[in-house]
Amino acid sequence: MHQRSVSDRYFSNGLRLSHLSNYWKKWPTRVALLRLSAKENRDYRSLYSFSAGQELYTPRNTTWVMRPLYPNDRPYAGYLYFSWGLTTADPIGARRLSSAITLGMIGPASGAAELQREIHHLMGQPMPAGWGTQIKNDPIISYTVRYEGRAIPRFTPAFDVISDVEGTIGSLMNTAGMGGTLRIGLFNDYFQHPTGLYQAGDESSRTFQCYAFCRVGFQAVLDNALMQGGWLNGSKNYYALPAVELQHFYGQLDVGGVIAARNMQLTFTQHLRTAEFVGALADQWGHISLLVRVSN
C-alpha cells in the first residue's frame, strides 16, 4: 500500500493486492513469463503471482477545476490493472529473475476520481476539483523484466550488496533502469527464495529478520502514458504533457526497514525521486508492504 500523508501532489495514492502461489502456473499467461535458464546441479525456486492494483496521480494544485495550461503540471490520471508474474531465485548462483505481464486501463474507467473523492470526504479534506480533466480512457498492456545479482561477495552475514537491471515495454511506459541495494542487519539470503521468508528445513534460514536497506537507482524513460495519454486516445488529452516536457532520465533513492518473523514480513519504505518533467518538483512518498504466508 502507498499513502501520501502531506500532499496529493503527483503520486497521490496506490494500493496493490497480490496472491503468491504456484496455482497461477496453471494460467496461460505462464508461457509469456521468463525464467532462469537451466544449469546442471542448480535447484531453482520459482513462485508465480497474480496482482490487482490501482494508482492515482494529481497535479500540485488540486483546487482548480480547469487549471492553466502553462506552466505545465502533471495531469490527473488513474490506473487500474491486473498483473501476472513469475520470480525465479538461484541460491547457488546468487541471482534472481522476475517478469510480469500487465493488463489494465487508464482514465475514468479506473475509478480513481471516485475513490479519491470518497477518501477526501471520509477524512474531511477539500475535494480535488479537476478530475474532469483527467487522462482519457485507454487500454494498457505492458511487460516488465528485472534481473538481480549479488554485486560483491558476502564477507559477513549482516551485510549484502545487490545490483539490478530492469526494463518495461508497452503502452503504459517504455523504460530501462539500473540500481544497487545495500542491506544491513539480520536477514535471510536474498536469493534463497522469492519471498525471503523463513524456509523450514533450511538450516541457514532465519525465523526472525530485522534489517535496514538503501537502494539507489537510475532510469531512462522514453514515454509515460500517465502523463502523455495512451496510444489510442493520447491526442484527445488537452492537459497531457508533450514529449519535450518529460525528463527522460531521473534518479531515485529508496530507504527503509524490514521486520519479519516466520510467516510474516512488514516492510516500510520512503521513496525520493528527481523531477519527472520540466518545472516539476522532486517527489517523495511512503510505501508499506505486508507479506503473510498462510501455509508452508
What residue numbers bound the domain in which 237 lies? 2-292
Stretch 202-207: mean pLDDT = 84
Pairing of strands 283-292, 264-273: antiparallel
Phi and psi of 28, rounded to 5°? -65, -15
> Could you tell me the CATH number of the domain that includes residue 113?
2.40.128.140
Residue 283 — very low, low, confident or very high, per pLDDT cuts 50/70/90? very high
Instruction: Please give the average per-residue pLDDT across 164-184, as a whole number.
Output: 99
Distance CA(296)–CA(176), nearest Å, equals 36
Polymer length in residues for the chain: 296
pTM over 0.85: yes
pLDDT tens per residue, range 284-294: 999 999 999 99
Q: What is the amino acid identity at position 62?
A: T
The cell for 153 is 561477495
DSSP state of 288: E
Q: Quote the percentage of the chain above a pLDDT of 90.
A: 76
Give 11's pLDDT tier (boundaries 50, 70, 90).
Answer: confident
Apex CA 282: angle with CA 210 and CA 6, to 5°? Answer: 70
Domain count, the chain: 1
Q: Give pLDDT tens digits for 219-244.
A: 999 999 999 999 999 888 888 998 99
Confidence of residue 2 (pLDDT cuts 50, 70, 90): very low
DSSP summary character for residue 130 = -
Mean pLDDT across 264-287 = 95
